[in-house]
Amino acid sequence: MAFRQHKLGAAGVGLMLGFSMMITLFGPSNDFRSGVSTWVGLDKQLSLGRLIGFSYEDPTVSGEGKPITVILDKDPKTGAAIDPPVRAYVYKAGTKFSPGINHNELLGPGVEELSTGIGKIGSASMSSGAVFTVSKGEFNGEEVDYIENTTATRGWTPDAALRTAGDENTRYVGKGKTIYITEGCWWCHTLLPEQTQDWQAFGAPPFLGDFNGEMPTAFGSDRKAPDILHVAARNSSREWMTMHFFNPRLVQPNSIMPRFNYLWGRTDINGNPIDIKAWSKEYDEYLAGNRIYPPEVPEPARDSEVRALIDWVLTSLK
């Protein structure tokens, strides 16, 4: 057989597939690279850390090794009041940095120059930890947001920042988004209001620079529930969220959202055990009309998963 059809065919397939990969992979990568990080993009990557999903630092995907977001109304070093309060991202010693810190080109033109220049992110060290903020600066006459390594610029240390904030002003955003991923909220909800018609109901669609350094983006493709990219702008009540996650039908009788009562863990904030079976029984009695009020929803413990989830919803989804 002199004529080997399969060789010709293999070459043809390779050529055509290569051509279509040039267009669909190489082409857009140039556009993505020119995306300048917005405030939203910087806030997301700093609060979420290196990546969410299976990784060496968090193999069971439970939110280990994520940075902690704090709201500071006092300077952790000098104690001077800060008004308005700033959001700071605390990376304790050993916490993996978000991608833009080590790969500065991900920040986009302008942001990169300011962050490495006056922001001094180059001197941040993973082994001793760092505290970052997003600051405003000017680049070529335009205002841009950039990352500031406050450990270098103002001497803020992770411990001092956490202490100054206290539990009240601490938000476990990175862990919260991890729970969003593992619990599969994104099979029902989307994080992508559509450009064509969602402005009124769900708010503005995201911009090009809103994603730099985020992984995974988890847009969601199949909407069985409202888009929640801006849910905290519609509803910022921690109490509502707490009841809604425990059993959505406490606040929205027609909801099909599952109960996430198992995210409370074993005990509530005061260390009292949580008995979900007993709760459900009392709730059924309430449904049957034998009780006037539904049973109380336990207050989440500080290290519970739902605390982190609500932190993320109320802090990031504005």
Q: Name the residues that contact ligand HEC, by CB under 6 A.
A: 180, 183-185, 187-189, 224-226, 228, 231, 234-235, 248, 252, 255-258, 260, 309, 313
Binding to another protein by residue 122, rule CB under 8 A? no
Options 113, 225, 268, 299; binder of another protein; rule CB under 8 A: 225
Contact mark string toward another protein, 165..184, x via CB under 8 A: ----------------xxxx
Smallest separation, CB 190 to ligand HEC (Å): 11
Closest CA to 298 of 252, 254, 267, 257: 267
CB closest to ligand HEC, residue no: 185
Q: What torsion, rounded to 10 degrees, do the Cα atoms 204, 205, 207, 210 define?
A: 90
Question: CA-CA distance, 215 to 48, in Å (whole number)?
Answer: 9
Binding to another protein by residue 214, rule CB under 8 A? yes
State the binding partner of 235 from another protein, ligand HEC, none, CB within 5 to 8 A by kind. Answer: ligand HEC
- Residue 85 or 226: which CB sits closer to ligand HEC? 226
Question: CA-CA distance, 227 to 178, in Å (whole number)?
Answer: 18
Binding to another protein (CB under 8 A) within 67-96 occurs at none
Q: Is 133 exposed, middle or buried (0-12, 13-18, 19+ CB in 10 A)?
A: buried
DSSP characters over 88-147: EEEE-TTPPPPHHHHSGGGG-TTHHHHHHTTT-GGG--TTT-EEEEEEEEEETTEEEEEE
State the binding partner of 45 from ligand HEC, another protein, none, CB within 5 to 8 A by kind. Answer: another protein
Smallest separation, CB 83 to another protein (Å): 33
Question: CA-CA distance, 111 to 285, in Å (whole number)?
Answer: 58
Smallest separation, CB 237 to ligand HEC (Å): 10
Binding to another protein by residue 210, rule CB under 8 A? yes
Residue 309 near residue 302 (C-beta atoms within 8 A): no
Residue 156 near residue 131 (C-beta atoms within 8 A): yes
Contact mark string toward another protein, 6..25, x via CB under 8 A: x--xx-xx--xx--xx-xxx
**Number of residues engaging another protein in binding (CB under 8 A):** 86
- Residue 187 or 207: which CB sits closer to ligand HEC? 187
Question: Which 8-state DSSP code applies to residue 236?
Answer: -
State the binding partner of 220 from ligand HEC, another protein, none, CB within 5 to 8 A by kind. Answer: another protein
Token pair for residue 196? 């064509």
